Amino acid sequence: MIYDFSFQNPTRIHFGKTALTHLADELKEYGTQVLLVYGKSSIKKNGLYDQITATLAAAGKTVCELPGINSNPRYSQVLQGCELVRRHHVDLILAVGGGSVIDCAKGISAGAYVEGDLWERYYQNQEPLSNPVVPVGAILTMAGTGSEMNSGSVITNEDLQLKIGRVFPLAEMSPKFAILNPELTYTVPRYQMVSGIFDTLSHLMEQYFSGDDDNTSDYLLEGVMKSLVHSALIAVEKPDDYEARSNLMWCATMGLNKILGLSKTQDWMVHQIEHQLGAYTDCAHGAGLAIITPSYFRYIYRDGLSKFVRFARMVWNVDDQGQGDEQIALEGISRLEQFIRELGLPQSLCEVGATVEMLPLIAKSTDQNYKARFGTSFGGYKLVEEKEIMAILNACLW
Ligand code: NZQ
Ligand code: ZN
């Protein structure tokens, strides 16, 4: 059933080959001071930087810049951005990049005028947003996170070795507009592309594997998972296939703009574990998820057996004649692993630099982070604490 909810996502989406032409009109809604936030080098190499700065100049904007945002954006970079916003009285933060750049922009937006310590208040303690924020606009260059149409901001505090996600109110922190041209993703390196694809799939699965009543959201999630898998296998062979890349981009946006998870309990435990894996190894987020997910599923599937059977049938077309539920569920997980192999993603933690010594630290800090935010409640099929996280990590170390 569909339980009661109120929902509004305020992001205006411009999608397609001509999407960037809408930037000039969007800029008219804001004052003259713009903070341009971007990553290490890609937008200068592929010419996007020149196009955007020309549009900003033509619109009469005064631009200050925060370049060099890391994959897995750092808290120190958020603080640098806050300082720029205050110094230049910034009217719009324009984020050009993938999830890391957009997440960093949201952190800056929340933090520029916060009273007290930004990390402690909004990330560590998850306090309600209580100060004015600066509008964020996004030009997406890599598909995966869904950050372009949601209010999440995942930041790594390098001093504390903690990577924490904060979901701010949608109405206040979602980008005001997002420009999505799938052609911009053609230059994304293959490893990053497949990481993004798995990140999207993980978002869909985190919302799917929970709550087992008859809910429209589960049918929608299955549909998007099927489209993603289909297009992913085309894009790895032919990265400039517009049909495949446009589907992947829209799957990613739909995957976490909050519509598909409405009226459902949700899990998100794989994400919790991966974030701390990222804090210790700095691995690509989607790659970390691809390693942990099968191990986690093998740990929980018996507690959500009917949904794992449905996943095998609906998403992976498992032909289950003569098989029991447990065999069908395990076959679905095997097909997922086969997909991970076909994408060329890593399958063991040691491949992304995790060591035996790190595992207890990752397990402990994940458990502490989780309990600080959610107590002992859980949205998935099973309560997973430090000991269980350790077992899940050990099972995918080599
Ligand atoms: O830095 P540059 O040179 O731009 O290179 C980037 C970066 O190295 C490159 N890239 C991006 N677009 C490109 C390109 N290279 C060539 N051509 C292009 N068009 O790709 C690399 C990865 O970029 P990044 O932004 O780090 O990737 P992604 O979009 O996967 O973002 C990952 C971050 O988002 C967080 C993750 O934890 C991670 O920190 N997440 C954010 C979420 C949210 N806000 O809702 C939810 C997710 O679950 C996730 O946690
Ligand atoms: Zn994710």
- 10 Å CB burial of residue 15 (0-12, 13-18, 19+) is middle
pTM, full prediction:
0.98
Element at 179 (helix H, strand E):
strand 177-180
Cα–Cα nearest to 374, from 229, 298, 212, 266:
266
Which two three-digit tokens encode residue 189? 């390196």
Q: Angle, nearest 10°, between helix axes 216-237 and 190-208? A: 170
State residue 376's pLDDT score: 82
pLDDT of residue 3 exceeding 90, the answer is no
Task: Choose among 313, 329, 308, 300: nearest CA to 208.
Answer: 308
Ligand nearest to the CA of 147: 1
pLDDT at 1 over 90: no
The verdict on the CB of residue 77 being under 6 Å from ligand 1 is no
pLDDT tens for each residue of 130-159: 999 999 999 999 999 999 999 999 999 999
How far is the C-alpha of 265 from the C-alpha of 70, rounded, in Å? 32
The predicted pLDDT at position 375 comes to 83
| CA 134 to ligand 1 centroid distance, Å | 22
Residue 154 Cβ contacting ligand 1 at under 6 Å: yes
DSSP 35-61: EEEE-SSHHHHSSHHHHHHHHHHHTT-
CA of 80 to the centre of ligand 1 (A): 19
In the structure encoding, which two tokens stand for residue 142, read together? Answer: 């890599």
**Pocket mutation for ligand 1, best pick of 11, 74, 100, 139 (most atoms within 8 Å of C-beta):** 100
SS3 140: strand
Helix axes 216-237 and 242-255, enclosed angle (nearest 10):
150
Residue nearest to ligand 1 atom 38, measured at CA? 72
Ligand nearest to the CA of 144: 1
Ligand 1 atom nearest the C-alpha of 156 is 39
pLDDT in tens, 168-219: 999 999 999 999 999 999 999 999 999 999 999 999 999 999 988 899 999 9
Q: In the chain, what are the helix, strand and coil shares in percent, each to the nearest 5?
A: 55, 10, 35
Residue 293 in this model has a pLDDT that exceeds 90: yes
- Residue 253 Cβ contacting ligand 1 at under 6 Å: no
Q: Which residues contact 108 (CB under 8 A, 6 or more apart)?
A: 35, 37, 66, 78, 81, 82, 84, 85, 93, 134
Q: Which helix (H) or strand (E) holds 83?
A: helix 75-88
Residues 377/380/384/388 CA torsion (nearest 10 deg): 180
Residue with CA closest to ligand 1 atom 50: 154
Tell me the C-alpha distance between 67 and 70, whole Å: 9
Q: 323-378, pLDDT tens digit by residue?
A: 999 999 999 999 999 999 999 999 999 999 999 999 999 999 999 999 988 888 88
The residue whose CA has the least distance to atom 18 of ligand 1 is 188
Q: How far is CA 194 from the centre of its chain?
A: 13
